Structure 1
Amino acid sequence: MNLDFAPEHYAFLEEVERFLDEHDDPEVFDVSRENMAQVVDTPKRREFMRRVGDRQWLGMTWPREWGGQEADGTYDYLLNEALAARGGPQIGKGVGIIAKTLLAHGSIRLKEEFLPKILRNEVEFAIGYSEPEAGSDAASMRLRATRSAGGWVLNGQKTWTTSAHFAEWYWVGARTDPEAPKHHGITLFLVPLDHPGITVREIRTMGDERTNDVFFDDVLVSDEYVVGEVGRGFQYISQALDLERFTMFAFSPLRQRCDVLREYVRTAEVDSRPLAADPVVRRHIAWLETEAEVARLLGLRVVAASAKDGPPPTTEASEYKLYATEFSKRLADASMDIGAPGTQLRVHTAEAPMSGRAESTYRYTVLDTIGGGTSEVQKNIIARRKLGLPRSF
């Protein structure tokens, strides 16, 4: 596997970096929001992503007939990593999940309605898979969709829907056949979030971010907004989650957190002795740097696998997501330990080690191991699909 990029890839990355330098704005780029920096939740962030769309950088891998350039996936990867490195909004759900599923399975009507808006960044989506009784097990969802004249009536609840309080459309899975086996009988819908039967209630996270419970009360959805075939939603969700596990958990923030810790160790002193001279600390930093390189290479394996014809790189995406997010927790633990008691001070506290980044990272990284499927879910995917192990009972 060739892990190097072509000259045209490097030229594109240079162009992206110049663009980001020209549009640098602390209200758009904020590394202290950690992984949640990707969310396009303010007018300034939406305007910035509109400008990215104006450069024709959104949907570069799409077919030309739908506004794409039929470029290889390396361009999406480089753009997303450059945005993530600065704590900026990323290509995320619209381009990386919704559009790719619509291109593969959506009707002509859905493509014509949504794909141009996604390219221009004129629409934001929330994703509704998790439920109170199902957690990260999408196959266990219970939100009911009952057949009605010309459509479906949805009743039930979703939870941990991060963007529901500002997005326009809800990409939601519901059970349309309660008698079907667990992994069947689920259908994907696109639902406007301003529907009068939808109620959004705030949940505050330990990372100081907002997510939401979403309640459905007789929400009528037209057949026109069914994504793909009725009853095949779980298969579509599984494919989309492969994309989410990679695009929503970029490597660049991990690299940046490593750099912050290493710079602190290089300059700090304990009892008038350089912290960098401590052999235990040196060994710990060396191990973390090694793990960071492993995470980077696992990510590049996903990029390489995506470039091949065939199904999405399911196990590669799960391996990357599992390793990268668990490494992120270990890095956060190390930052707290090495920075000592001062790391308990809140982020942006000037006198705190690393300006309080260790404290915010410690809180955020727990969330990363849950979104896109928990670490336990990733282990099960790898065990079954790559190692051929039987399902547990």
Structure 2
Amino acid sequence: MHARTPEQASFAASIDAFCRARTGTRAQRDALTQHGVEAHNARLYAEMAELGWLGVGISPKYGGSDGGMAEMCLFAERTSYGLAPVGGYITTAVAASPYAKFGSEAQKEKVLTGITRGRVEAISISEPDAGSDAAAITCRATRTSGGFLINGQKTWCSNAHFADHLLLVARTQSSGSRHEGLTMFCVPTGTPGVEIRGIPTLNGKEVNDVFFTDCFLPEDSVVGRLDQAWPQLMSGLNSERLLLAASMLGRGRRAFDDAVTYVKERKQFGKPIGSFQALKHRIADLATELECCELLIYRVAQMADEAPDRMLPREASMAKLKTTETAKRVAIEGVQMMGGYGYATEYDMESHLRATVISTVFGGTSEIQRDIIGKTFGL
């Protein structure tokens, strides 16, 4: 385990204790998630806000505690390990960064203060024809009297159905390169002309299509500079990839611990199945991989905290790639080791599988992460 400061160790221990008390049993989690359908429970999230945890990466000016990336990763990791249904945290934390760096004072006051009080934010970038190729965005923001009219469709928008605002990226210019002419907007989800439709998935209610039809946004909805969304997006990739990695580290560790508990208790041929070499070696390999993930994540978080404005495309992509692939492997191996029980909804392993299998797709696929890493070597 990576070295933690006394404050970080205390923070992690507090989260673990909270989760044991509030989400420690299957019955508690079922009650909070409508039996696994909902990924986020607003009441539980509000309790965490009251404890001051949701503002860990936000300035005290807006109600936060001014923590760094390491503390944000700790929160994502430990709540994920504790199976706390606070699925709105990752998109909220990622959305906070552009507002903090580029937003107006009014936007910061509204959005960042809201986050510390338990409000959820969402990010709207992907489109039906613009996923990995985000520069292919066609959702249009057209100038009109006093602001902009938005028309187009976004998809795979996590948490839009219970978010306060969408951090929208739309095209405001078509001249120049594909990466030019994109602008960020702050869009209240209740704005006329915005329609949010859920997309059913294996993991319940998480993602949405969002349709914009002559949606009017005033001038002060622009976040940062007009036509400069691309460099603003790039500046926030460290936080997105690291937080996704930290969350999957927590889920992967939970799947690992559940598997170990099972193979110690389950007996076949007169002894625990974990004593068989095939499973013992499998456990050893998975434990080693998870330890590597933890060391990588918190090393990159430390680098980010030491130089907040530094771009870390190679390191952040490595953390996201390694951890999501490892978490998925742990869950798949967990199902295999538990046999039919790993597939049964009576146990948590099948939910670990559903949660981790998509992690190598969202936030930039494993293939895209490998491509980014390769480019940093001049390839």
SS of 1:248's partner is: helix
Residue from 58, 73, 80 that aligns with 2:76: 80
SS of 1:156's partner is: strand
SS of 2:170's partner is: strand
For 2:91 and 2:355, the matched residues in 1 are separated by 23
CA-atom RMSD in angstroms: 2.7
User: 1:76 is matched by which residue type in structure 2?
Assistant: M
> 1:275 Cα shift?
1.5
> 1:360 Cα shift?
2.8
Alignment check: 8 A CA contact 1:31 1:87 kept:
no
Q: Where does residue 5 of structure 2 map in the other structure? A: 6
Q: Where does residue 97 of structure 1 map in the other structure? A: 94
Q: Where does residue 368 of structure 1 map in the other structure? A: 359
Alignment check: 8 A CA contact 1:199 1:215 kept:
yes
Q: Unaligned 5+ residue runs, structure 2? A: none
> 1:239 Cα shift?
2.7
Q: Where does residue 311 of structure 1 map in the other structure? A: 310
> 1:18 Cα shift?
4.3
Relative to 1, partners in 2 of residues 1:343 and 1:46: Cα closer, same or farther, differing over 3 Å? closer
Alignment check: 8 A CA contact 2:242 2:301 kept:
no
TM-score, structure 1 normalization: 0.85
1:338 aligns with 2:306: no
> 1:5 Cα shift?
1.5
> 1:362 Cα shift?
2.8
Alignment check: 8 A CA contact 1:60 1:69 kept:
yes
For 1:19 and 1:115, the matched residues in 2 are separated by 24
Kindly provide the CA deviation profile for residues 335-382 of structure 1, in whole angstroms up to 9, marking residues without a partner as x.
23223345333x22xxxxxx2x33333333221111111111111211
Kindly provide the CA deviation profile for residues 100-134 of structure 1, in whole angstroms up to 9, marking residues without a partner as x.
2111111122112222211111x322221111111
Q: Where does residue 49 of structure 1 map in the other structure? A: 45
> 1:85 Cα shift?
1.7
Q: Where does residue 193 of structure 1 map in the other structure? A: 189
Kindly provide the CA deviation profile for residues 204-257 of structure 1, in whole angstroms up to 9, marking residues without a partner as x.
112334421111111111110111001111222223333122223412211111
Alignment check: 8 A CA contact 2:173 2:182 kept:
yes
Relative to 1, partners in 2 of residues 1:142 and 1:316: Cα closer, same or farther, differing over 3 Å? same
> 1:37 Cα shift?
9.7
Kindly provide the CA deviation profile for residues 164-199 of structure 1, in whole angstroms up to 9, marking residues without a partner as x.
222231111111112221222111111122223122
User: 1:188 is matched by which residue type in structure 2?
Assistant: M
Identity among equivalent positions (%) equals: 31
Taking the TM superposition and a 5 Å limit, the aligned residue runs for 1:156-167 are: 156-167=152-163
Relative to 1, partners in 2 of residues 1:29 and 1:360: Cα closer, same or farther, differing over 3 Å? closer
User: 2:130 is matched by which residue type in structure 1?
Assistant: A
Alignment check: 8 A CA contact 1:162 1:212 kept:
yes
Kindly provide the CA deviation profile for residues 301-338 of structure 1, in whole angstroms up to 9, marking residues without a partner as x.
22211221232433222111111111122122212322
SS of 2:209's partner is: strand
For 1:70 and 1:344, the matched residues in 2 are separated by 42
Relative to 1, partners in 2 of residues 1:135 and 1:28: Cα closer, same or farther, differing over 3 Å? farther
Alignment check: 8 A CA contact 1:38 1:92 kept:
no
For 1:290 and 1:363, the matched residues in 2 are separated by 23
Q: Where does residue 374 of structure 2 map in the other structure? A: 383
Q: Where does residue 352 of structure 1 map in the other structure? A: none
> 1:153 Cα shift?
1.2
For these two proteins, the number of residue pairs brought into alignment is 372
Q: Unaligned 5+ residue runs, structure 1? A: 349-354
TM-score, structure 2 normalization: 0.88
